[in-house]
Chain A
Amino acid sequence: EPEVTQTPSHQVTQMGQEVILRCVPISNHLYFYWYRQILGQKVEFLVSFYNNEISEKSEIFDDQFSVERPDGSNFTLKIRSTKLEDSAMYFCASSASYEQYFGPGTRLTVT
């Protein structure tokens, strides 16, 4: 069964550093998403992406964040200058219609 994959599974970085989180969506899906979940808190929408552009973004997704689909398979989330409060689990998801399939997540720890 096809699945969404994410790398790395765990990323530790120092405050102020740039990080890139990578996702490979399911191959025939057209809609891509990033979510984050701070430990013990609810899942929060960051951004959705369709047809090579952002379709919707939340207030969390400020100028420090960017997304790219650099080739036909990868979908990346970049955080330019990480802050302590960026420590969270980041989930990528993709969908062909209404059902969103989630990747296993990248745990980002900012020290």
Chain B
Amino acid sequence: GQNIDQPTEMTATEGAIVQINCTYQTSGFNGLFWYQQHAGEAPTFLSYNVLDGLEEKGRFSSFLSRSKGYSYLLLKELQMKDSASYLCAVSGNYQLIWGAGTKLIIKP
């Protein structure tokens, strides 16, 4: 079967760093995506990893280990506007297989 696991909810403090983990077991792999979704809105693209290692993009970084079926999203210098759900998704052939998302709550 295909499975993507990520924590349901995390809480962090404004200005701090948070790491959101994702583990996956899928029949195909063409890359791993992280999306941000604010309540009632569409997902917006954050990052894409297809090779092992770290991809850095401003305050956000994403890491992938294909052998371990593991990724994380690292958010630095947290801002209140970062309060959202963070969705891990794995690309099979044409489709994206989605995790249930991690709701990140930022406290002042």
Q: How many A-B residue pairs have CB under 8 A?
A: 53
Separation of A100 and B98 alpha carbons in the complex (Å): 13
Q: What bracket does the count of chain B residues touching chain A fall in?
A: 20 to 34
B94 touches which one: A55, A99, A103, A105 (CB < 8 A)?
A55
Chain B contacts for A28, CB-based, 8 A: none
Per-residue interface assignment for chain A, residues 23 to 50, with 1 indicating a CB less than 8 Å from any chain B CB and 0 otherwise: 0000000010101000001111100101
A105-B93 CB under 8 A given contacts A42-B100, A42-B101, A45-B98: no
- The A contact surface, by secondary structure, is strand
Chain A contacts for B95, CB-based, 8 A: 33, 45, 48, 56, 58
Separation of A102 and B46 alpha carbons in the complex (Å): 12
Q: Are A42 and B98 closer than 8 Å at their CB atoms?
A: yes
Stretch at the interface among B36-44, B52-60, B73-81: B36-44
At the interface, yes or no: B104 with Cβ under 8 Å from chain A? no
Closest B residue to A92 using CB positions: B42
At the interface, yes or no: B70 with Cβ under 8 Å from chain A? no
Give 20 A-B contacts (CB < 8 Å), ordered by A residue: A33-B96, A35-B96, A41-B100, A42-B98, A42-B101, A43-B98, A44-B98, A45-B95, A45-B96, A45-B97, A91-B43, A98-B33, A98-B50, A98-B91, A99-B45, A99-B48, A101-B45, A102-B42, A102-B44, A103-B42
Q: Identify the B interface with A (CB < 8 A).
A: 30-31, 33, 41-45, 48, 50, 87, 89, 91-101
